[in-house]
Structure 1
Amino acid sequence: MRIAAFPKAFLHELIVDRSMTIFEWIELARTLGVDGLELHPGFFHEGGRAEIDAVGEALADAGFEMPMLCASPDFTHPDAAQRARERDHQADAIRLAAALGGDAPTCRVLSGQAHPQVAVEQGLDWATEAIEELLPLARELGVALCLENHYKASTWQYPEFAQRKPVFLELLSRIEDREWFGVQFDPSNALVAGEDSAAFLAEVVDRVFTMQASDRYLADGASLDALRLADGTIGYSPDLRHGVIGRGLNDYPRIFETLRGAGYDGWISIEDGVNGLGEMAESAAFLRAARDEWFGGSKDVDVAARRRATEEA
């Protein structure tokens, strides 16, 4: 297991008002004691090969890998032309992951937004079709597509179409490729969906390629049952707060036990730090200690070998 970090606290600065550059984030991340950085296509502003090469050099100089790229396609959009554009954007993200990701890069993929006018079966059909259309490119470039149990991208109007576990599991089951398509598991998003995150992980662990790590805390006087909406989800309630990994609602001992039992040897990326870089550093320290306790310390990750073994099984 190796540890990466994603700058959730600085997304507005990096993507929206562009007051922070990707190079400034790389320098800040040197203090975290992590092995790699998960990046986002929105961090790249110039869009040319020179910028990609410069970022690659900056990552290498800092001793980082780029194992995971965070893309947010909306494959369930009701407009066919927009769905086609979303596929094109995802293809660009796959190419970017291939350019920066080393031997076994991964690229996040989502189903899309829960557009009110799109029925579940229709959305499943569209998301399945889009992912299967992208898999040949992913295979060609050696990039694994990882479906995240997501909640809501910052630019989206609606939550994730496959937020609820039954929809997520159905979409996952429709795509049989286990070598280049798998899961990016986020335990906190499972909580937001109203699920027991460790139990959710146990249902998909055989297809997990990467994992996000964060934690959630209840505000004083709040309860999970009170936060659940009519559909069983919680959403991003102000009573569900961010904090240091390992001290909140996620049962990380159960999560690590499940990962170890499945022979997990992939990346875990810190996706938090909204309360400051100090909390992200504490989370990194927690994951380093967990790596020593549960996974026998740092080791080389051979994701490609794991994919082959899974395919043969």
Structure 2
Amino acid sequence: MPKLAVFPKAFMNALCKDGTMTVSEWISLACDLHVDGLEWYAGFLEMADKTKWSEFRKQVEQHGKQIPMLCCSPDFTHPDALFRNKEIEKQKRWLEMTSALGGSFCRVLSGQRRPELSLTEGVHLAAECINACLPYAQDLGITLILENHYKDDFWEYPEFAQKMDVFCELVDQIDHPNFGVNFDPSNAFLAGEEPLELLYRISNRVVTMHASDRYLISGTIADLRKEENGTMGYAKRLRHGEIGKGLNDYDAIFKELRRVGFNGWISIEDGVDGMDQLERSVAFLRKKIKTYWPDFD
């Protein structure tokens, strides 16, 4: 049956840049929620100290939770082969981090959509790098999950495989038991596309999911797409919001996931307006999951 996790979307700067929140403080906040686990991020400042990995796992497990997924952002579309090899080594270290945390899923991305990169070359480079990581993932018993991503918080350019056709082509290039898809419905809107159309194309490859709802606080999707290239991080007109009050049709999403026998982790990206909002999103998703998986507790 599906299980719920939470991701500290509202606290990324505090945990990853200025250090105004400790990982232990986030654990205490998140473990008060009615969820089963905490999705981790490789870029937490304190994760630079490898000796803390097992300590954080112990803290989470003492609350009766687990760390099922690690979120990280390899850049496999760089034109320099030496740079790509370093990214492969980073991904392998993140796989080790996932294992130390007790996780089973580690995110992987294609890389940045650099203007000079052709479609054919980008798919080839990303697939080559992901395939290079898969034997190590298999040795550790971890599944690499490719997300239909928009843009890493700290990247200059958007995701290379942001568009549906490119994403599906890349997924089709990788056939391995330790590879699957992390589906994020909100990110499809940012590509100017319909999330359900994407889901119907790749639902049999989905093993985990990011649950969120997105809003544009000004302008239109077309405005966002005009300004996304060359903008560091997320566009200013974009924001996350309470799940169930945005654009996503969670009834249709869960109906399709139930149809294909999905039983993976659903990680919530929310809470930008406070923990009360995150609690409401948790309650919304538990109710919906109970509808489509009646034996879910």
TM range (shorter): over 0.9
d(CA) in 1 for partners of 2:100, 2:276: 31
Letter in 2 for 1:289: K
d(CA) in 1 for partners of 2:239, 2:56: 32
d(CA) in 1 for partners of 2:249, 2:224: 19
d(CA) in 2 for partners of 1:219, 1:7: 21
Within-5 A mapping of 1:52-63: 52-63=53-64
Partner of 1:127: 126
Per the TM alignment, residue 239 of structure 1 is displaced from its structure 2 partner at its CA by 4.7
d(CA) in 2 for partners of 1:211, 1:15: 23
Per the TM alignment, residue 293 of structure 1 is displaced from its structure 2 partner at its CA by 0.9
Does the C-alpha gap of structure 1 residues 195 and 278 become closer, same or farther in structure 2, counting only changes over 3 Å? Answer: same
d(CA) in 2 for partners of 1:116, 1:128: 19
Letter in 1 for 2:114: H
Partner of 1:76: 77
TM-score normalised per structure 1? 0.88
Q: Is the 8 A contact 1:192 1:236 kept in 2?
A: no
Partner of 1:116: 115
Q: Is the 8 A contact 1:5 1:34 kept in 2?
A: yes
Per the TM alignment, residue 280 of structure 1 is displaced from its structure 2 partner at its CA by 1.1
Partner of 2:94: 93
Per the TM alignment, residue 45 of structure 1 is displaced from its structure 2 partner at its CA by 2.4
Per the TM alignment, residue 223 of structure 1 is displaced from its structure 2 partner at its CA by 4.9
Per the TM alignment, residue 236 of structure 1 is displaced from its structure 2 partner at its CA by 5.4
2:250 pairs, out of 246, 249, 252, with 252
Give the percent of matched residue pairs that are identical in Structure 1 and Structure 2. 47
Within-5 A mapping of 1:182-261: 182-219=180-217, 222-224=219-221, 229=226, 238-261=236-259
Q: Is the 8 A contact 1:78 1:117 kept in 2?
A: no
User: Do residues 107 (structure 1) and 106 (structure 2) align?
Assistant: yes
Partner of 1:176: 175
Q: Is the 8 A contact 1:291 1:297 kept in 2?
A: no
Partner secondary structure for residue 263 of structure 1: coil
Partner of 2:20: 19
Letter in 1 for 2:166: V
Gaps of 5+ in 1: 300-313
Per the TM alignment, residue 237 of structure 1 is displaced from its structure 2 partner at its CA by 5.2
d(CA) in 2 for partners of 1:226, 1:95: 40
d(CA) in 1 for partners of 2:235, 2:20: 28
Per the TM alignment, residue 41 of structure 1 is displaced from its structure 2 partner at its CA by 1.2
Cα deviations by residue, 1:92-135 (Å, 9 ceiling, x for unpaired) = 11111112235xx0000000001112222111111111111100
Partner secondary structure for residue 59 of structure 1: helix
d(CA) in 1 for partners of 2:11, 2:246: 22
Does the C-alpha gap of structure 1 residues 137 and 224 become closer, same or farther in structure 2, counting only changes over 3 Å? Answer: same
Letter in 1 for 2:202: V
Q: Is the 8 A contact 1:78 1:115 kept in 2?
A: no
Partner secondary structure for residue 180 of structure 2: strand
